[in-house]
Structure 1
C-alpha cells in the first residue's frame, strides 16, 4: 500500500516542465475545431453517427451491464464541499385515498468533485469565449446558457474505450499529481489491445476511488492524476467525441501557468468535447479485465435541462 499523504505525489508532481500561457495558447489554436459543424452547439458530439452507434451495439457480447455513476453523496468532506441534498417531501402519512405515496426531493450543485456529471460546452470559456468563439458574457446569463447547453446534446450512445492506467502500470492507482502523457496513452492502447478512434468516448481510470476507499478522502482539486495537456493533440487527432475520468480529466496541480483547468479549456472551449467527471470506474476495470477487452457500448443520458451547463448522470457500460 502507498504511505504517501493524500495530496502529495510520491516523487513530486510528474507533470513535466511547466507550460507557459503562450505555449498553451498555441496548443489551443492547434486543437480548435471552431466552425467545423453546422450544429455548433453540439460540438464534437456531431461526430457520432448512426454507424458509430451500430458499431458500439455490436460490441455487446456477454450482456454485462456496469454502472459508472457514483452514489449520490450527501456527506460533506474534503472532496465534497457542496454536498448533494436528499430529503423526503411526502411520507405517505397524510390521510388520502389508497395507495399512499412516498416522495423525495434531490438537488445538487453538481459541478465539483463528488457528483458524477457531464460538462456541456457551455460550462467552460477560455479568454471569455465559448466553443465556436461566441462571447460567454453574451451567451450565458442568469437564465442559463443560450449556446452549448446540455439540452442541445441529447443522449450519447457510442463506443467507449477504457484507458486503465493502473492496470497497465501494475499499480492499484496513480498517485495524485501523476500526469498522463501521450506516451502513456499509446502504451495503454498497446497493452490493452484497443485503439482510440473517431467518435469514441475515452474514459481514463486513475484509480481515484480505489485509493479513496483505502486511504481516505482528499481534495482532488488540489492534487489528482489526469491528462497532461500534451496528451490532448493525440486525442484530438483521433477525433474523440467525449472524455471522462474517475477524476475530472485534468491533472492537478495544473502544469499550465495561470490556467487552473487546461484540459477542460482544450476539450470544451477549443474542441467542443464534453467531459464526464467523477465516474467510478472500479467495476468497469474489473469487468474489462475479466472480458479481456477494453471497448464496450457506452450510454450517457443527461437530463434535458434547457440552458443547463451540464447534468448529473449515471452512465452505463455494456460488454
Structure 2
C-alpha cells in the first residue's frame, strides 16, 4: 500500500546525502551566536507581538489537545512502556475524605510518548547548540546546559503541514520523505506561509495508518522531513518543529547520521522538537475551519536538568 492510496511503489526517502554534504548543511543553518541566551535557542524569537498575533487566530474557541495517551503495554513502537501504579487506595479506614494516589514514570524519549526535545537532548560531533560539549555539560545528574527548565512555556502561531490532505491520500508511507518542494506545495495548497517564530507541525497520517494496519517500529521506517527541507525552515525563522512522527524520515538519507533532522534542528538551529503528536483531531478541526493556522500552547514540565519533557500541547482555533 503506497502512501495510503493502494500504490505498490516503495517510498522514496532520497536523495542520499554524504556526510561531507551534511556537514556543509549543518554549517549553513547553524545559529550558535545569534542570541544572548543560547539555552532558549530559537524560542528567543518569540516575543509579545508573536503571542498577540497568535491569539488573534482564536475565532471559534475550539480546543484540540495534541498528545497521545500514555501506554503501559509493550508494542513494536513502545519498547519501554510507561509505569502506572496505585500507591494509595480508598479501601482502608481513614478520616474522611479518603485519598487516592498513584505513581507514574516514563522513559519518554522514544516513539510512543508525546514529548518535547530540549536543546540538551542532541549533540553533533560532541557539541550541543551554541558549542558546549556534551561530555562537559551532561552527566548522570542531568544536564547543566540546555535543559528543559531553561525553555519555559511557548505560546505562538502553529501551522499544520497536512501532507495527506494536500496529496489526497490517507497517509504517507513509512520511509516517505517530505522535501522543501513539498513544504512549498503544502503552503500553497493550505493557504498559509511559514513565518518567524512559528511552530511547524507535520502530519504524515502516522496514527491513522497505525489504527488501520497496526503498529510498526518507526525507528526502522517512518515518514518525515528530508534534510533538504531544513534550509527553507531555517530561512523562515521557525521556533519549533514537530509532527506525528519524530520529524526525521527513516531510514536516514545521510550516511552515518541516524537522526539528521534532529541534529540540524536542535544542535545547529536551536529549534526544539515535538515528537509523537496526535494530529488527527487537529487535521479534522483545521479542515472544518478552512485554515491550517492556530494558537499553539506548549508547556513542558519544569524539571531542572532534564533533556526534555512529556507534555500535552494544545491548539486553539
Whole-angstrom distance in 1 between the partners of 2:68 and 2:227: 26
- Other-structure match for 1:47: 45
Q: Pairwise CA RMSD of aligned residues?
A: 1.3
Is the contact between residue 13 and residue 253 of structure 1 (CA under 8 Å) also seen in structure 2?
no
Shifted more, 87-96 versus 115-124: the winner is 87-96
Aligned residues: 315
**What's the offset of the Cα at 1:95?**
2.3
SS in 2 for 1:280: coil
Whole-angstrom distance in 2 between the partners of 1:119 and 1:16: 25
- Deviation by residue 1:276-301 (Cα, 9 ceiling, x = unmatched): 00000000000000000000000011
- Other-structure match for 2:251: 253
> Is 1:168 the equivalent of 2:166?
yes
- Deviation by residue 1:172-204 (Cα, 9 ceiling, x = unmatched): 000000000000000000000010000000000
Is the contact between residue 10 and residue 175 of structure 1 (CA under 8 Å) also seen in structure 2?
no
**What's the offset of the Cα at 1:10?**
4.5
Is the contact between residue 204 and residue 249 of structure 1 (CA under 8 Å) also seen in structure 2?
yes
Which among 5, 9, 12 is matched to residue 10 of structure 2?
A: 12
Whole-angstrom distance in 1 between the partners of 2:3 and 2:40: 42
Is the contact between residue 4 and residue 10 of structure 1 (CA under 8 Å) also seen in structure 2?
no
- Other-structure match for 1:34: 32
Point out where structure 2 has 5 or more consecutive residues left out of the alignment: none
- Other-structure match for 1:184: 182
Is the contact between residue 242 and residue 275 of structure 2 (CA under 8 Å) also seen in structure 1?
yes
- Deviation by residue 1:145-188 (Cα, 9 ceiling, x = unmatched): 11110000001100000000000000000000000000000000
- Deviation by residue 1:121-149 (Cα, 9 ceiling, x = unmatched): 10000000000011100001111111110
SS in 2 for 1:167: helix
**What's the offset of the Cα at 1:87?**
1.3
- Deviation by residue 1:254-284 (Cα, 9 ceiling, x = unmatched): 0000000000000000001000000000000
Whole-angstrom distance in 2 between the partners of 1:4 and 1:25: 31
Q: Is the alpha carbon distance of 1:46 and 1:246 closer, same or farther for their aligned partners in structure 2, counting shifts above 3 Å?
A: same
Whole-angstrom distance in 1 between the partners of 2:183 and 2:159: 11
**What's the offset of the Cα at 1:73?**
1.1
Whole-angstrom distance in 2 between the partners of 1:200 and 1:271: 14
**What's the offset of the Cα at 1:94?**
2.9
Whole-angstrom distance in 2 between the partners of 1:119 and 1:21: 24
> Is 1:274 the equivalent of 2:272?
yes
Whole-angstrom distance in 2 between the partners of 1:38 and 1:269: 16
Is the contact between residue 2 and residue 173 of structure 2 (CA under 8 Å) also seen in structure 1?
no
SS in 1 for 2:274: strand
- Other-structure match for 2:127: 129
- Other-structure match for 1:57: 55
TM-score, normalised via structure 2 length: 0.98
**What's the offset of the Cα at 1:47?**
0.4
> Is 1:262 the equivalent of 2:260?
yes
Is the contact between residue 207 and residue 244 of structure 2 (CA under 8 Å) also seen in structure 1?
yes
Whole-angstrom distance in 2 between the partners of 1:65 and 1:50: 22
